[in-house]
Amino acid sequence: MGGISDFIQENRNIREENRQRKPIHERFIEFHAHDDEQIVLNAVPGHFATIQSHINYYVDVTSMKVRTKEAREAAKHLASKMLHKIEVVDTIVCMDGTQVLGAYLAEELEKSSFSLSGAARESIRVVCPEVNSVNQLLFRENIKPSIQGRKIFLLLATMSTGETVRQSMECIEYYGGDVVGVSSIFSTREVVQSTLVFPLFTIEDLPGYESYKPADCPFCKKGIPIEAMVNGFGYSKLR
């Protein structure tokens, strides 16, 4: 019965289904942070791939990265979460294009009781590292003084397996920085290598979010094609 022709038909059906689907940006669903209604992220269910895993939601945090009002609100919220848990921040290292949020966060931390370990009159530094082809952070000579011997807060857009964070922390330590905390706008974890993670959105805000090893991905097993490649910067459609 069927065999190969059933398989071909099923594949045709899947392709047709995907063709009729609306584009990703038209399928965004809004999610509100459970402790602050004003902070919103968008997510789309589907089949997506990151460098390390396959995921069933693309989580979009663009508004908090590019819109000043949203970034300021998110920074305020983040600073209040860090209060009494982290006391000293010298430098914020911004990954995934989070530098607008990073600058507002620096402003918020300076307004409250956070202090610097360096010279008392200095302000918090905000740094965006270069990333090489094997995902290692690169700090040039002019930026090294902002890392070496400094208390570092690492800021990212999204985190699923935590692998990128681990690698970034290793690189910062290689340059002599001490990572005192991490924040990812969306995170599946609250600790990475005994360092506290302060997410604005967790898995509780996005019920049903799953990340799979590519070999165990249920969508791949059903032959459902990957819709887009995603990383902290955003998504690139594959079809």
Residues that bind Zn ion (CB under 5 A): 54, 217, 219-220
First to last CA, the chain: 32
Q: At what angle do helices 68-82 and 99-111 cross, to 10 degrees?
A: 50
Report how far residue 158's alpha carbon sits from residue 164's, in angstroms, rounded to the nearest whole number. Answer: 10
Instruction: Rank residues 139 and 212 by Cβ distance to Zn ion and give the closer one.
Output: 212
Instruction: Rank residues 149 and 223 by Cβ distance to Zn ion and give the closer one.
Output: 223
Instruction: Go through 78-89 and write b for each residue having 16 or more CB atoms within 10 A of its CB, e for each that does not.
Output: bbebbeeebeeb
Q: Is 104 helix (H, G, I), strand (E, B) or coil?
A: helix
Shortest reach from residue 46's CB to Zn ion, in Å: 10
What's 21's DSSP letter? Answer: S
Residue 219 vs residues 201, 211, 214: alpha-carbon distances, Å: 25, 11, 10
Shortest reach from residue 71's CB to Zn ion, in Å: 32
Shortest reach from residue 62's CB to Zn ion, in Å: 23
3-state percent helix, strand, coil for the chain, nearest multiple of 5: 35, 30, 35
Residue nearest to Zn ion (CB): 217
What's 98's DSSP letter? Answer: -
- What is the dihedral angle through the alpha carbons of 114, 186, 162, 157, rounded to the nearest 10 degrees? -70
Asked if 78 and 48 count as a contact pair (C-beta separation under 8 A), the reply is: no
Instruction: Rank residues 186 and 219 by Cβ distance to Zn ion and give the closer one.
Output: 219
Token reading at 159: 């985190």
Shortest reach from residue 14's CB to Zn ion, in Å: 13
Instruction: Rank residues 149 and 218 by Cβ distance to Zn ion and give the closer one.
Output: 218
Shortest reach from residue 161's CB to Zn ion, in Å: 14
